[in-house]
A and B are shown apart, each in its own frame.
Chain A
């Protein structure tokens, strides 16, 4: 601020009107009726992410070329971005504001790049030592269990993971084929998690006789149960228990375990979810002719649309509005499967139209193998005495995974039924946070109603319509020939190009617009942020209009 120059006598004055000081004595802030202020919202993508990844932030950090910080940002809510970047069903993209402009940002592809950078830079992972004395048991080494163990270890709690299989990973290892998630990569991810803190692993340690939930409850300060779903759901069709009919999951388990599994020439996969797609595509890789039979239409398929598209490219046939009615077999020969024709009826509780039998229309297919992939069931029997269960799933009281037993928490598919990797990760993290607060006596944080924005709040004049950046991949022929990972990921330029498409909804990304357009030079450009200079801001609100992303709000002065 300058001083106003006044002259007491002409002797103090220059001989002509000549400036001797600047105008900063003139505090034009007094002209202001309305005050702008920086007010960051939560980007819709983050609200769409089950584990609330700070997507806007890490995309911003990619643009800043700060991959370490980007990686740390993800790790605040997800310990395995390399995994989710490959297999997540990305509900974030459904919420992406850019979807209402041209195409949603390819968030998982960006996340994957950051995650892989983290794997390539193991030093980024801060190693935590056990600083707390309370030991915690995690039952199940899938995404929920790994996530919970990671966030507990970060708080300094010693964690022991009890895993029934011979290796950690759960559905990531046994349920998802390598062309989507290579085992080598998964091993590195799990390795990075295990190295991050005081985590002990006990494999081939199913709950049963040696270890029970009761013994764990006694020995550990808290137990997190995340055993997932263990059984394929039966179709309830005559003849489904005989040879030639296989559980899709079992097939995947074998394939993922490196066992040779040749299902026969003609294969039908019954189901419309991701497992059905994985089974169908693995079967293609064994040289089979594969038809997916689904009782509704493609629109209702729960599988990730990209997966359906890939399956089609790989030569998987689809037959919609049909469900197996009976299976008969003659000796070791082919199966004869009768399918009931279906049609869509009234919407069910999921909002999708319910398939109903279309009269008595049927057709028959002669095939070698039928895979069932219509869903999985949980097995809650080991926990029945310790916690309240229902329908094979553990009942929880809130999203932190609290059960009817104060020492026992649960999360993942064993709670939700068949859900997603990211939801399991979220459940593990939230349980870990709650367990930590329970043990340390820390108060629960006050959660404010999140404020977000939509396309109407974006100043689209600053964006050019375009297309999502394609993710490089191997050819379909190469893909079907084996289990090589199909998508090879963005290189640096592609990554930046895609990251640059982000609107950064509701959050400042230092685009400089407010500072540039301020007619009153009343916005200070500091090292890490901007600051209004209310001494001079006249309240024209050009900054508010020209903020492309609605990161500035206003309020009337004097209120």
Chain B
């Protein structure tokens, strides 16, 4: 069934389709409608889940951790400050190897208060061991939730599904709604190998000596490595079931492109419009959307970018004292393998629009600058 719904509700439908059993959340704009609808679904019995309206994001995620450890599928959603408050438990979920799915609606971090989008909240969770998938459309968002549970439960790592505040969260699009009955053959019930169970009692998370901690961390990275193929396979399997696949990265008109713009989230759609326009002008330009940020798709990015003459990375985020974060990541993915010049462009922080004009400006700078600036290129900042 197709419906015109906002991005936040696409998340809710994805959760509903995934037979989630425990949902715990705390309100924060612009995420709130996700859990409002879930709460309603639970109340109406459309979703057989326990909804826990906790007193903070920290408790939201710890409740998910507890429930997940008890062996059920769990979900929470948050944004910005809420995600930052969760940070301790973000790590805990990974160490405890719990396949929680969390949606973060990208929102700028205070102060000053801002409710508009940028990626610094989710990217500051980069090194925690969560998988991160950035969505571009409401359909993709709903579908990614379902995929995320399958991925998480396969590799026993939590997955963060990320979407832009307002540009996606509050934007209405047509979504082909997934029904739980359709999804069940694709996503069977969660059956963990170990869980909190009085019949087979184990203690989880005890103090580990240096003799064991190292190996436990090694295994997390092994799982992350394994997830590269899992993410791909799950997406392909999803496509077989539902006719829609999203890939790990999404190249657009890159086959013969001399110039490539690297984007993520909703900027990718805007970029594609600019690419079409410039192709009409005869410029050999393409765009690469990075959908899966963790694990970082080294090979896919290399395959596309190594053929280009110049690459621009557009970041709606910044690692102060360094560069845009996607820019860092892309550079490190190509390091030592190719000499393609790569430049980074910071745009749209705190929800400022990244319009076709902004993207065109970046593309023009990339093409025209003889020697592109290797550091930060600020786009649109009032200097």
Contacts and interface: CB of A to CB of B under 8 A. Distances in A.
A7 B215 contact: yes
A17 B206 contact: yes
B44 interface: no
Nearest to B97: A16
B194 interface: yes
Contact of B216 (A9, A16, A19): A16
Contacts of B206: 17, 19
Contacts of A15: 97, 156, 216, 219, 223
Interface string A7-39: 101100111111110000000000000000000
A10 B208 contact: no
Interface string B94-130: 0111000000000000000000000000000000000
Interface in B204-222: 204-206, 208, 211-212, 215-216, 218-219, 222
A14 B223 CA distance: 13
B381 interface: no
A13 B202 contact: no
A17 B204 contact: yes
A13 B215 contact: yes
Interface residues of B, number: 19
A214 to B, nearest CB: 84
Contacts of A19: 202-204, 206
Nearest to A5: B212
Nearest to A14: B194
A7 B212 CA distance: 8
A527 to B, nearest CB: 29
A18 B156 contact: no
A10 B219 CA distance: 7
A10 B202 contact: no
Looking at A14, A15, A19, the one whose CB has the most chain B CB atoms below 10 A away is A15
B216 A18 contact: no
B208 A17 contact: yes
> Which of A6, A14, A16 has the most B CB atoms < 10 Å from its CB?
A16
B204 to A, nearest CB: 5
Contacts of A16: 95-97, 204-205, 216
Given A10-B218, A10-B219, A17 B156 contact: no
A18 B219 contact: no
B40 to A, nearest CB: 35
B225 to A, nearest CB: 13
A505 B202 CA distance: 44
A13 B219 CA distance: 9
Nearest to A10: B215
Nearest to B218: A10
Contacts of B156: 15
B111 to A, nearest CB: 37
A15 B215 CA distance: 9
Nearest to B94: A16
B219 A20 contact: no
A487 B361 CA distance: 116
A6 to B, nearest CB: 8
B215 A18 contact: no
A6 B212 CA distance: 9
A16 B156 CA distance: 10
Contacts of B219: 10, 13, 15
A19 B206 CA distance: 8
A446 B212 CA distance: 60
A18 B192 CA distance: 14
Contacts of B218: 10
A20 B202 CA distance: 7
Interface string A461-482: 0000000000000000000000
A377 to B, nearest CB: 81
Contact of A17 (B205, B211, B222, B223): B205
A310 to B, nearest CB: 65
A16 B205 CA distance: 7
Given A10-B218, A13-B219, A18 B212 contact: no
Contacts of B222: 10
14 contacts: A7-B212, A9-B215, A10-B215, A14-B194, A15-B156, A15-B216, A16-B95, A16-B96, A16-B204, A16-B216, A17-B208, A19-B202, A19-B203, A19-B206
User: Ordered nearest first, which 8 A-B pairs have the shortest CB separation?
Assistant: A10-B215, A19-B203, A16-B97, A18-B202, A15-B97, A17-B208, A19-B202, A17-B205
Given A15-B156, A16-B204, A19-B203, 15 more contacts: A7-B212, A9-B215, A13-B212, A13-B215, A15-B97, A15-B216, A16-B205, A17-B95, A17-B205, A17-B208, A17-B212, A18-B194, A19-B202, A19-B204, A20-B202
